[in-house]
Amino acid sequence: MAVPLMDLTRQYQSLKSDIDAAVQRVFEHSRFILGPEVADFENAVAQKLGAKQAVGVASGSDALILGLHAVGVGPQDEVVVPAFSFFASAGSVSRLWAKPVFCDIRPDDYNMDPEGLEKAITPKTKAIMPVHLYGQLADMEPIKKTADAHNIPIVEDAAQAIGATHKGTVAGRWGHAGCFSFFPTKNLGAAGDGGMVISDHEDVADRVRLLRTHGARPKYFHKLIGFNSRLDALQAALLGVKLAHLDSWTERRRALADVYDRELKGVGDLILPKRNADGYHIFHQYTLATEKRDAMRDHLKSKGIGIEVYYPVPLHLQECYADLGGKPGDLPVAEKAAQTVFSIPIFPDMTESEQAEVIDAVKSFFA
Ligand SMILES: Cc1ncc(COP(=O)(O)O)c(C=O)c1O
C-alpha cells in the first residue's frame, strides 16, 4: 500500500459542510480583502496563544519580512539565523537588504545552538531569529538571555510550531514578534498561502498592520513604504473553522509520534526525534536521521512511502549566498543534519494500517 506524506483531501472531507458554509458566507458579503473573518480569526489566534495582538498577512514568509521590518531591521543590518531551516528564514532577511549571519544548530533537536548564537553576534546585529523546526521550540531561555543582554529583539520563525510550548510559553511569545505560516501542509493550513505575526508589543503589531497595507493610515496617506500583504478573508474563514480542531489534530500527531518512537527505537542506526524536557512538541514533522539517508530515501520511495528531506542544503551553502563566503565545514552540525535527516508521514488523518506500513518499510531497509 502506498502511503502519502500528507493527504489534505481527507481533512476537507471530514470538515466539508463547515468549510463550504464558511466560504459561502464570505461570498455572500464579498469583502474579500480584510473582511470581518480576518479580524475574527486574528482575535481567535491571539486568544488561543495568549498574545495581545495578531495580524494576518499573506504568507509565513511575509510574516517574517514584516516582523523583521517592524522591529527595525533594514539595509546593512545583520540578523542571526540558524543555518538549518527553510529558505524563507534567511530570504526574509535578505529581502530587507539586511544580511543573514548563519549560526550552527544543536545536533539533538536541530534548532539554534545558543552558543553559536553568541558567537554570531556583532555590533551590527539588529535581530535574532530562532526557528522552531519540525514543531519543537529552540532552547529559548539561553537565547532570550543573550538577546536581552545585548538588547536585541527576537523575531521567532514559528512557521512550523503553532501551539508548541517550551517551559510553559508558547512558540511566538518569547520575542518581539512571532511569525506563523498557514501554508496548506502546516498543522493549521489554509487553501493557499497565509501567515500571521503575533506580538505583545503594541508598537510592533501596529507597524505590521501598517506595513501590510502599503503603510497607509488612513487610506491613501502613506506613513511608511509598506507591502501588499493581507491574509485573505476566504483563507481566514477557512482557518477559523480549522482552528477549533487544531488541539485534537496535534494530540493525534503526538500519538502517532509515540508509536513511531516505540516501534523504531533501536532500529539500525536510526536517530529518533528528541523531545526536549519541559516542551510540548507538535510534530509538524517526524524527522529521523541515518548515515545512509539517500539510500533510505530511495528505499522508501520504491515502496511507495512518502518521504521528504527537510532540508538537503544548509543555508550558508546555498548558491544564492555564495557571496557571503560560507564554506563546507563552517557549520558542521547543520551540514551533517542536511546529509542525514529524513521525514516520514505524520498527519492527523493517517490510519493505523498506513503507519504500520511505514514502520515496516523503514525496518525492512535494515533487514
Ligand atoms: C521554517 C519555515 N519558515 C518560513 C516558512 C515560510 O512560510 P510560507 O510558505 O507560508 O511563506 C516556512 C514554510 O513554508 C517554514 O517551514
Q: What is the CATH number of the domain that holds 161?
A: 3.40.640.10
Same domain? For 250 and 357 the reply is: yes
Ligand 1 centre and the CA of 303: distance in Å? 29
Q: What is the CATH number of the domain that holds 350?
A: 3.90.1150.10
CB 188 within 8 A of CB 182: yes
3 found inside a domain: no
Same domain? For 233 and 254 the reply is: no
CB 63 within 8 A of CB 259: no
Name the nearest CA neighbour of 179 among 326, 341, 47, 62.
Answer: 62
Ligand 1 centre and the CA of 92: distance in Å? 10
Q: What is the dihedral of CA 278, 284, 290, 295, to 10 degrees?
A: 180
Pairing of strands 169-170, 165-166: antiparallel
* 3-class secondary-structure state, position 286: strand
Chain centroid to CA 164: 11
Summarize pLDDT for 231-280 with one digit per residue, the tens.
Answer: 999 999 999 999 999 999 999 999 999 999 999 999 999 999 999 999 99
Q: Which three cell numbers stand for residue 48?
A: 488561543
CA separation for the pair 260, 267 (Å, rounded): 11
Summarize pLDDT for 19-69 with one digit per residue, the tens.
Answer: 999 999 999 999 999 999 999 999 999 999 999 999 999 999 999 999 999
Domain enclosing residue 207, as ranges: 8-103+110-243
Summarize pLDDT for 274-312 with one digit per residue, the tens.
Answer: 999 999 999 999 999 999 999 999 999 999 999 999 999
CB 69 within 8 A of CB 207: yes
Pocket around ligand 1 at a 6 A CB cut-off: 59-61, 85-86, 88-89, 131, 157, 159-160, 181, 183, 193, 195
Domain end: 192, 213, 243, which one? 243
Ligand 1 centre and the CA of 268: distance in Å? 32
Same domain? For 198 and 143 the reply is: yes
CB 38 within 8 A of CB 32: no
Domain count, the chain: 2
CA separation for the pair 68, 128 (Å, rounded): 9
